Amino acid sequence: MVEYYSKHPRILVAVDSIIFGFNENDYELKVLLLKRKFEPARGRWSLMGGFVNPNESLDSAAQRIVETLTGLEDVYMEQLYSFGEPDRDPGGRIISVSYVSLIKINEYDRELVKKHGAYWIPLSEIPELIFDHSEMVTKALRKLRIRARTQPIGFELLPEKFTIPQLQRLYEAIYQKPFDKRNFRRKVLAMGLLDKLEEKEKETSKKGAFYYKFNTEKYEELLQRGFNFEL
Protein backbone atom coordinates (compact mmCIF):
# COMPACT_ATOMS: atom_id res chain seq x y z
CA MET A 1 0.00 0.00 0.00
CA VAL A 2 1.41 3.39 -1.05
CA GLU A 3 1.76 5.88 1.78
CA TYR A 4 0.50 9.02 0.04
CA TYR A 5 0.24 11.01 3.26
CA SER A 6 3.34 9.78 5.08
CA LYS A 7 4.68 13.32 5.52
CA HIS A 8 1.62 14.40 7.52
CA PRO A 9 1.34 13.92 11.30
CA ARG A 10 -0.78 11.04 12.58
CA ILE A 11 -3.84 11.96 14.67
CA LEU A 12 -5.79 9.39 16.68
CA VAL A 13 -9.56 9.14 16.27
CA ALA A 14 -11.80 7.98 19.11
CA VAL A 15 -15.52 7.64 19.71
CA ASP A 16 -17.28 8.44 22.98
CA SER A 17 -20.79 7.22 23.76
CA ILE A 18 -23.34 9.15 25.78
CA ILE A 19 -25.66 6.30 26.76
CA PHE A 20 -29.00 7.44 28.16
CA GLY A 21 -31.19 4.94 29.98
CA PHE A 22 -34.61 4.99 31.58
CA ASN A 23 -36.59 2.64 33.78
CA GLU A 24 -40.32 3.03 33.23
CA ASN A 25 -40.96 3.30 36.99
CA ASP A 26 -38.27 5.91 37.63
CA TYR A 27 -38.60 9.66 37.49
CA GLU A 28 -35.22 10.60 36.10
CA LEU A 29 -33.14 9.95 33.02
CA LYS A 30 -29.78 8.28 33.67
CA VAL A 31 -26.38 8.24 31.98
CA LEU A 32 -24.02 5.26 31.95
CA LEU A 33 -20.65 6.30 33.37
CA LEU A 34 -17.54 4.44 34.46
CA LYS A 35 -14.39 4.95 36.48
CA ARG A 36 -11.46 5.18 34.09
CA LYS A 37 -8.99 2.31 34.59
CA PHE A 38 -5.95 3.77 32.84
CA GLU A 39 -3.97 6.96 32.53
CA PRO A 40 -4.40 9.79 31.90
CA ALA A 41 -7.15 10.59 34.42
CA ARG A 42 -7.19 7.11 35.93
CA GLY A 43 -9.88 6.66 38.60
CA ARG A 44 -11.99 9.61 37.41
CA TRP A 45 -15.51 9.49 35.98
CA SER A 46 -15.76 9.09 32.23
CA LEU A 47 -18.06 8.25 29.35
CA MET A 48 -17.51 4.91 27.61
CA GLY A 49 -15.20 5.34 24.65
CA GLY A 50 -12.37 3.88 22.64
CA PHE A 51 -10.23 4.28 19.54
CA VAL A 52 -11.47 3.55 16.04
CA ASN A 53 -9.76 0.49 14.56
CA PRO A 54 -8.15 0.80 11.11
CA ASN A 55 -10.68 -1.60 9.58
CA GLU A 56 -13.93 -0.11 10.94
CA SER A 57 -16.13 2.92 10.36
CA LEU A 58 -17.05 5.47 13.00
CA ASP A 59 -20.54 3.99 13.32
CA SER A 60 -19.16 0.46 13.65
CA ALA A 61 -16.75 1.57 16.37
CA ALA A 62 -19.57 3.25 18.30
CA GLN A 63 -21.78 0.16 17.98
CA ARG A 64 -18.92 -2.07 19.13
CA ILE A 65 -18.33 0.04 22.23
CA VAL A 66 -22.00 0.10 23.26
CA GLU A 67 -22.39 -3.62 22.66
CA THR A 68 -19.20 -4.39 24.60
CA LEU A 69 -20.47 -2.42 27.57
CA THR A 70 -24.15 -3.38 27.61
CA GLY A 71 -24.45 -6.56 25.53
CA LEU A 72 -27.19 -4.89 23.48
CA GLU A 73 -27.33 -4.77 19.68
CA ASP A 74 -29.42 -2.60 17.36
CA VAL A 75 -29.92 0.17 19.92
CA TYR A 76 -30.89 3.68 18.86
CA MET A 77 -27.70 5.53 18.04
CA GLU A 78 -26.98 8.90 16.48
CA GLN A 79 -23.74 10.71 15.75
CA LEU A 80 -23.67 13.88 17.83
CA TYR A 81 -20.63 16.11 17.43
CA SER A 82 -16.88 16.04 16.83
CA PHE A 83 -14.58 17.31 19.57
CA GLY A 84 -11.15 18.29 18.30
CA GLU A 85 -9.51 20.92 20.47
CA PRO A 86 -5.73 20.30 20.29
CA ASP A 87 -5.36 20.02 24.07
CA ARG A 88 -8.65 18.20 24.86
CA ASP A 89 -6.84 15.01 25.92
CA PRO A 90 -3.50 15.20 27.78
CA GLY A 91 -2.66 11.77 26.41
CA GLY A 92 -2.12 13.00 22.85
CA ARG A 93 -3.65 14.63 19.79
CA ILE A 94 -7.00 12.89 19.70
CA ILE A 95 -10.20 13.78 17.88
CA SER A 96 -13.32 12.28 19.44
CA VAL A 97 -16.61 11.76 17.62
CA SER A 98 -19.46 11.48 20.12
CA TYR A 99 -22.59 9.36 19.77
CA VAL A 100 -25.93 9.38 21.59
CA SER A 101 -27.45 5.99 22.45
CA LEU A 102 -30.83 5.21 24.03
CA ILE A 103 -31.26 2.05 26.10
CA LYS A 104 -34.07 0.45 28.05
CA ILE A 105 -32.41 -0.03 31.43
CA ASN A 106 -34.29 -3.25 32.18
CA GLU A 107 -32.82 -4.92 29.07
CA TYR A 108 -29.09 -4.33 29.44
CA ASP A 109 -26.63 -7.00 30.55
CA ARG A 110 -25.92 -6.19 34.21
CA GLU A 111 -22.94 -8.53 34.41
CA LEU A 112 -21.18 -6.84 31.50
CA VAL A 113 -21.80 -3.39 32.96
CA LYS A 114 -20.52 -4.57 36.34
CA LYS A 115 -17.44 -6.08 34.69
CA HIS A 116 -16.53 -2.70 33.20
CA GLY A 117 -17.13 -0.87 36.47
CA ALA A 118 -19.95 1.20 34.99
CA TYR A 119 -22.86 2.79 36.83
CA TRP A 120 -26.21 4.33 35.89
CA ILE A 121 -26.06 7.88 37.26
CA PRO A 122 -29.16 10.16 37.38
CA LEU A 123 -28.80 13.42 35.45
CA SER A 124 -29.07 15.42 38.66
CA GLU A 125 -26.16 13.53 40.21
CA ILE A 126 -23.62 13.48 37.37
CA PRO A 127 -20.13 14.01 38.87
CA GLU A 128 -17.29 15.98 37.33
CA LEU A 129 -16.19 14.17 34.17
CA ILE A 130 -12.81 13.98 32.44
CA PHE A 131 -11.70 16.19 29.56
CA ASP A 132 -14.69 17.57 27.61
CA HIS A 133 -17.10 14.76 28.52
CA SER A 134 -19.42 17.08 30.48
CA GLU A 135 -19.84 19.18 27.34
CA MET A 136 -20.65 15.99 25.43
CA VAL A 137 -23.42 15.13 27.88
CA THR A 138 -24.84 18.66 27.66
CA LYS A 139 -24.92 18.58 23.86
CA ALA A 140 -26.40 15.07 23.89
CA LEU A 141 -29.24 16.08 26.19
CA ARG A 142 -29.98 19.11 24.01
CA LYS A 143 -30.12 16.87 20.92
CA LEU A 144 -32.31 14.33 22.72
CA ARG A 145 -34.83 17.01 23.65
CA ILE A 146 -35.05 18.23 20.05
CA ARG A 147 -35.48 14.70 18.72
CA ALA A 148 -38.04 13.75 21.38
CA ARG A 149 -40.23 16.70 20.44
CA THR A 150 -40.23 15.98 16.69
CA GLN A 151 -39.72 12.20 16.48
CA PRO A 152 -41.00 9.26 18.55
CA ILE A 153 -37.53 8.30 19.79
CA GLY A 154 -38.76 8.41 23.38
CA PHE A 155 -40.27 4.98 22.83
CA GLU A 156 -36.70 3.64 22.44
CA LEU A 157 -36.37 4.12 26.20
CA LEU A 158 -39.56 2.29 27.17
CA PRO A 159 -40.45 -1.42 27.17
CA GLU A 160 -42.73 -2.76 24.44
CA LYS A 161 -45.80 -2.15 26.59
CA PHE A 162 -46.18 0.88 28.83
CA THR A 163 -48.80 3.05 30.50
CA ILE A 164 -49.55 6.70 29.74
CA PRO A 165 -48.25 7.73 33.21
CA GLN A 166 -44.97 5.91 32.47
CA LEU A 167 -44.72 7.66 29.11
CA GLN A 168 -45.33 11.01 30.77
CA ARG A 169 -42.66 10.32 33.39
CA LEU A 170 -40.21 9.64 30.57
CA TYR A 171 -40.87 12.92 28.80
CA GLU A 172 -40.77 14.80 32.07
CA ALA A 173 -37.39 13.16 32.73
CA ILE A 174 -36.09 14.20 29.30
CA TYR A 175 -37.22 17.81 29.62
CA GLN A 176 -36.74 17.96 33.40
CA LYS A 177 -40.07 19.68 33.92
CA PRO A 178 -43.64 18.57 34.70
CA PHE A 179 -46.42 18.26 32.10
CA ASP A 180 -50.12 18.73 32.70
CA LYS A 181 -51.56 15.21 33.02
CA ARG A 182 -54.78 15.80 31.06
CA ASN A 183 -53.14 17.73 28.23
CA PHE A 184 -50.35 15.20 27.86
CA ARG A 185 -52.77 12.27 27.70
CA ARG A 186 -55.04 14.05 25.23
CA LYS A 187 -52.17 15.04 22.94
CA VAL A 188 -50.54 11.60 22.96
CA LEU A 189 -53.74 9.69 22.25
CA ALA A 190 -54.88 12.17 19.59
CA MET A 191 -51.92 11.15 17.42
CA GLY A 192 -53.45 7.71 16.96
CA LEU A 193 -50.08 5.97 17.27
CA LEU A 194 -50.76 3.97 20.43
CA ASP A 195 -52.59 0.64 20.54
CA LYS A 196 -54.49 0.10 23.78
CA LEU A 197 -54.12 -3.35 25.36
CA GLU A 198 -56.54 -5.18 27.62
CA GLU A 199 -53.86 -5.69 30.26
CA LYS A 200 -53.40 -3.30 33.17
CA GLU A 201 -50.40 -2.31 35.29
CA LYS A 202 -51.44 -2.73 38.94
CA GLU A 203 -48.16 -2.48 40.84
CA THR A 204 -48.37 1.27 41.41
CA SER A 205 -52.15 1.63 41.99
CA LYS A 206 -55.16 -0.52 42.92
CA LYS A 207 -57.24 0.64 39.97
CA GLY A 208 -54.41 0.12 37.52
CA ALA A 209 -53.62 1.82 34.22
CA PHE A 210 -54.05 0.23 30.81
CA TYR A 211 -50.94 -0.74 28.88
CA TYR A 212 -50.30 0.62 25.38
CA LYS A 213 -47.97 -0.26 22.51
CA PHE A 214 -46.43 2.10 19.99
CA ASN A 215 -47.62 1.24 16.46
CA THR A 216 -44.47 1.57 14.35
CA GLU A 217 -46.17 0.51 11.11
CA LYS A 218 -48.88 3.13 11.50
CA TYR A 219 -46.29 5.81 12.23
CA GLU A 220 -44.35 4.92 9.05
CA GLU A 221 -47.58 4.97 7.07
CA LEU A 222 -48.57 8.38 8.42
CA LEU A 223 -45.04 9.66 7.85
CA GLN A 224 -45.40 8.91 4.15
CA ARG A 225 -48.48 11.14 4.11
CA GLY A 226 -46.62 14.06 5.66
CA PHE A 227 -47.51 13.43 9.31
CA ASN A 228 -45.55 15.55 11.82
CA PHE A 229 -44.87 14.07 15.24
CA GLU A 230 -45.02 16.92 17.75
CA LEU A 231 -45.22 16.53 21.50
- The region, left, alpha or beta by phi > 0 then psi within -120 to 50, assigned to residue 117 is left
pLDDT reported for residue 6:
86
Determine the average pLDDT of the residues in 200-204. 80
**pTM, entire model:** 0.92
Measured between alpha carbons, how far is 12 from 52 in angstroms, rounded to an integer? 8
- What distances in angstroms separate CA 171 from CA 26, 103, 219, one per listed residue? 12, 15, 19
User: pLDDT per residue over 57-67, tens digit each?
Assistant: 999 999 999 99
Taking only the tens place, the pLDDT of each residue in 141-186 is: 999 999 999 999 999 999 999 999 999 999 999 999 999 999 999 9
Q: Is pLDDT at 1 greater than 70 in this prediction? A: no
CATH class for the region spanning 12-152: alpha beta
Longest dimension (CA), the chain: 72
* Residue 126 confidence class, pLDDT cut points 50, 70, 90: very high
Domain boundaries, the chain: 12-152, 159-224
pLDDT, one tens digit per residue, over 17-63 is 999 999 888 889 999 999 999 999 999 999 999 999 999 999 999 99
pLDDT at 227: 83
Reduced to 3 states (helix: H, G, I; strand: E, B; else coil), residue 201 is strand
d(CA 2, CA 22): 49
Q: Please give the average per-residue pLDDT across 61-80, as a whole number.
A: 94
Mean pLDDT score, 69-79: 93
| Banded model confidence at residue 202, pLDDT cuts 50, 70, 90 | confident
Q: Does the pLDDT at position 205 exceed 80?
A: no
In angstroms, the CA 136 to CA 99 distance is 9
Q: Is the pLDDT of residue 117 over 60?
A: yes
Range 159-224 has CATH code 1.10.10.10: yes
- Give the model's pLDDT for residue 13: 97
What pLDDT band is residue 4 in, cutting at 50, 70 and 90?
Answer: confident
